[in-house]
Structure 1
Amino acid sequence: MASEASTIAIAGAGSIGCYVGGCLALAGRKVVLLGRGRVVETMRQGGLRVSDLDGRDRRVEAQAISATDDPATALRDADIILVTVKSGGTAEMAKLIAAHGRPDAVVASLQNGVDNADRLRAGLPGRQVLAGMVMFNVVQSPDGEVPFRVHRASQGEVMIDGGIDGLADRLDVDGLAVEARADMKAVQWGKLLMNLNNALVALSDLPLARQLADRRWRVILAGQIDEALAAMKAAAVAPARITGLPPSLLPKVLRLPDWLFGLLARRMLAIDAQARSSMWDDLKRGRPTEIDELQGAVIRLARQTGTPTPINERVMALVRQAEAGKRGPPGLTPDAVNPGPRSA
C-alpha cells in the first residue's frame, strides 16, 4: 500500500497541507495538492517555497508540483489522502473523497481537534481512515508573495495511527518527521491541551513566542488546561504526554515566573519570532475559526461529566464575538480575557 510508487493527495492546500505536501514533493514523492483560489493560483505561477526553523529553505518549481482546485483530478488516482482542511470542512471533504477517491485509498486526518477522524469515518463507511496530528506550527506568506511560502515555525513531528504498515515510513522525509502511534486518541487529547492557547494568541494579537513569555497569558492557559484535565479525569480520558512534561504538570509549569519558565520550557519556546496561530490567521482573514473543536470540545466533555469550565467558556465567547465583528484579532489584554484572580 504505502510503496515508493504511491500517489499522495493533500486534501486542503492551506499552511499545513502545503508544508506537508512540499516536503513530500521535495523528497521525490508523487503529490497532488487540492485547494482553491489564491494559494493554488500562486503555486501554479511560481511554485512553492518550503522553509523551517532548522534553517532549511527549499523551492519546488511550478512545473514540479501539481496543484488543482478540481477534486476529481486530485483524488481519483491517490493511494493516500491526507486531509488537512479546517475542521469545518471535514464533512464536505468526506463527501468529495466518497465521490472521487478510490475505495482502497488510505485516508488520514492531519487536523486539529479530537473528532475529525470520526467524522471522516462517518462519511466514508467501509474505508480505511486513520487519525493523525501535526505537532508544529506553520505560517504562510502574505497575499501576493511569489512563490507561495510556507514556514514551519516551531519544533515537532507528525503523529499518525500505526494501523497501516509502512505508511509512517513513506511519509517520513527531510523536514517532516512522522511517527506511528498506537494511542492516537490520547495524542489528540494531549495536543488539545496546548491548542487551547490558539485562541489566546488570536485574542491578544501577539506573536506566539511573545505571548507565551508573558505569565499573565500563561495563567489563563493554565486555567483552561486545569478545567480540561478535570473534565478528562471525570470522563476517564487519559491525554498523552506531548510537550515532554506529564499533562498534569503543565499548569504548574505555565504558572512559574517568567524567568524560571524560560529556563524550564525551552522546547515550548523554540518558536519563530513571528509565529502566530491558525486561529489568529482565521480572524485576520475574516474566516470561521476552529474554536468549537478546541475550547468547544472541552466544554462538551465537561458538560457530560458535570465539571465547570468558566475560563474556556469565556475565551470561546470572546472568539465568537471577534468572529462576528470581522475586524480581525481584537488585541485584548489578559485582564480583558480573564478578569478574575491572577495569582493562582
Structure 2
Amino acid sequence: MSFSPKFAILGAGSIGTYIGACLVKAGYPVVFVGRERLKQEIQLFGLGISDYNGKSFTLAPSQIRYVTDIKEAKDSNVFLVTVKSKDTKEIGKSIRSLFSPEELSKIVIVSFQNGIRNSKELASVLPELKDRNLPGMVPFNVVAKGKGQFHQGTSGELVLPSNDYGKRIHYCLRKAALPSKVHKNMDGVLWGKLLFNLNNSLNALAGVPLREELSQRTYRKILASMITEGLEILSLSGIQPASAGKMIPWLAPIILNLPDFLFFKVASSMVKIDPEARSSMWEDLHYGRKTEISYLNGEIVRLADEIGHKAPINRKIVSLIGEAESDSGKSKYDAETLSNLLGIT
C-alpha cells in the first residue's frame, strides 16, 4: 500500500467517532459510517471532543463526513472497525462487496473492538488481507454525552501489532495525538485486556460511574474474584495474557483487594479515571441495547466449558446481565447484594 491513508470508521459510535474526530483534526481524510440518528446529531451540533486531562476541541458539521451507507467509503484504504462484535462478520462481508480482488490488496483493516475473536472473524471472510488485517486494542472509555459531545473518561494507549502496517497506523494515531504503541503479542494483549474488561459488566450492574464503583472495596473484591477466576481458566487453557502498559493482569486482584488508602495510591499511578466515566455495557443497558456480554465474560465461560471448569462467578454475571437486558436495563445492584448473589465473602 502506498501510504497516503484515507480512513473509514465503520460503526462510528462512541469509540469510533472519538478516534475519527482526532484523525480529522490532524488533517487526515476520514469518512464516518454509522447510524442515521448520530448523523443527524452531528449535522446539527458538529463534534465536541474532550478527555480526562481537560483537552478539548470542536469540529464544525462542515468538517465531518458522516454517512450511513458503507458504499460511500469506497475511496478509503484504511478501515477502522468499531462495530459491536456480533456484527464483525457482516461488516467484513460489506467490505468485501466494495472491492475487486485487486483493490482488496491495497486496503488495511484494524479491529478496534471488545473481545478477542474479531480479527479472526474478519479473516474468515477476508482471508487475502493476511498481515493487513490488524487486531487492535482500545484501553480507554468514551461516553457519548449527547449533542455531538464525546468524552474520553479513562487513560490508556491504543495497541497495534508490530508489523509494518501496524507501525504505519501507529504513526498516524500518534500524529493525531492519540497515545498508541505496537506490541509483538497481540493475542496476549487482547486476553489481558479482556480480563480488565470484565469490569464492564460489573459497572453496568452497579449502575454508578467507574470511579464511584472502584472507590467501594466490596465492588473491588467482586472484580478481583472475577479476574482471579478468569486467570485460573486461562492458565488451565494454556493461554498467557500479556500486559500493555501499566495494567498487569496477574497483579490486578492483589491491587483491587488492597485497603482503600493503599488502593487509591497505587491505582492512581496506573490509570486515570474521571468522575464521568462509565462502561460501554452500562451505556448499552441504559439505552436498551444488546450488550457484548458474550464477547467478554462469556469468553471466560466458553473456555471454562471446554475444560470442565464451573466458572461460577463469571457465569452468574453473564446471567445477571441477561436479566438486565430483558428488563430494559433497569437492574441495579449495590455492592453487598451483588457480592451475596455471587457467593463472595
Give the TM-score normalised by structure 1.
0.93
Q: Provide the secondary structure at the position in 2 that maps to 1:141.
A: strand
User: Which residue number corresponds to residue 187 of structure 1?
Assistant: 189
Separation in 1 of the partners of 2:160 and 2:330?
32
SS at match of 1:275: coil
Letter in 1 for 2:161: D
CA RMSD of aligned residues (A): 1.6
**Is 2:141–2:154's contact at 8 Å kept on the other side of the alignment?**
yes
The 5 Å alignment of 1:171-320 reads 171-242=173-244, 244=246, 246-268=248-270, 270-320=272-322
The residue that corresponds to 1:98 in the other structure is 96
Corresponding letter in the other structure for 2:60 = E
Q: What residue is the counterpart of 1:61 in the other structure?
A: 60
Residue 114 (structure 1) aligns with: 116
The answer to whether the 8 Å contact 1:203/1:329 transfers is no
2:136 maps to 1:132: yes
Contact 1:2 1:166 in 2 (8 A): no
Unaligned stretches of 5+ residues in structure 2: none
Q: In the alignment, is the contact (CA less than 8 A) between 2:116 and 2:191 conserved in 1?
A: yes
Q: Which residue identity is paired with 1:136?
A: F
Structure 1 segments of 4 or more deviating over 4 A?
340-343
Rounded to whole Å, the distance in 2 between the matches of 1:100 and 1:177 is: 31
Contact kept, 8 Å, 1:50 with 1:150, in 2: the verdict is: yes
Answer yes or no: is 1:153 the counterpart of 2:153: yes
In structure 2, relative to structure 1, the CA distance for the partners of 1:153 and 1:175 (3 Å cut) is farther
1:82 and 2:84 matched? no
Secondary structure of 1:51's match? strand
Distance in 2 separating the partners of 1:166 and 1:322: 41
Does 51-60 or 172-181 show the bigger shift?
A: 172-181
Change (3 A) 1:115 1:281: same
Residue in 2 that maps onto 1:334: 335
* 8 Å CA contact 2:155, 2:271 repeated in 1: no
Deviation of residue 225 (structure 1)? 0.6
**Greater percentage in helix:** 2
Q: Secondary structure at the match of 1:313?
A: helix
TM-fit CA distance, 1:290: 0.5
Q: Which amino acid aligns with 2:320?
A: L
Structure 1 unaligned regions, length at least 5: none
Structure 1 residues 73 and 245: alpha-carbon distance in aligned structure 2, compared to 1, 3 A threshold: closer
Task: Using the TM superposition, give the Cα deviation of residue 245 of structure 1 relative to its aligned residue in structure 2, in angstroms.
Answer: 5.1
CA distance change for structure 1 residues 245 and 22 in 2, over 3 Å: closer, same or farther?
A: closer
1:336, distance to aligned residue in structure 2 (A): 2.8
Report how many aligned residue pairs link the two structures.
Answer: 336
**1:202, 1:329 within 8 Å by CA — same for their partners in 2?**
no
Distance (whole Å) between structure 1 residues aligned to residue 271 and residue 203 of structure 2: 14
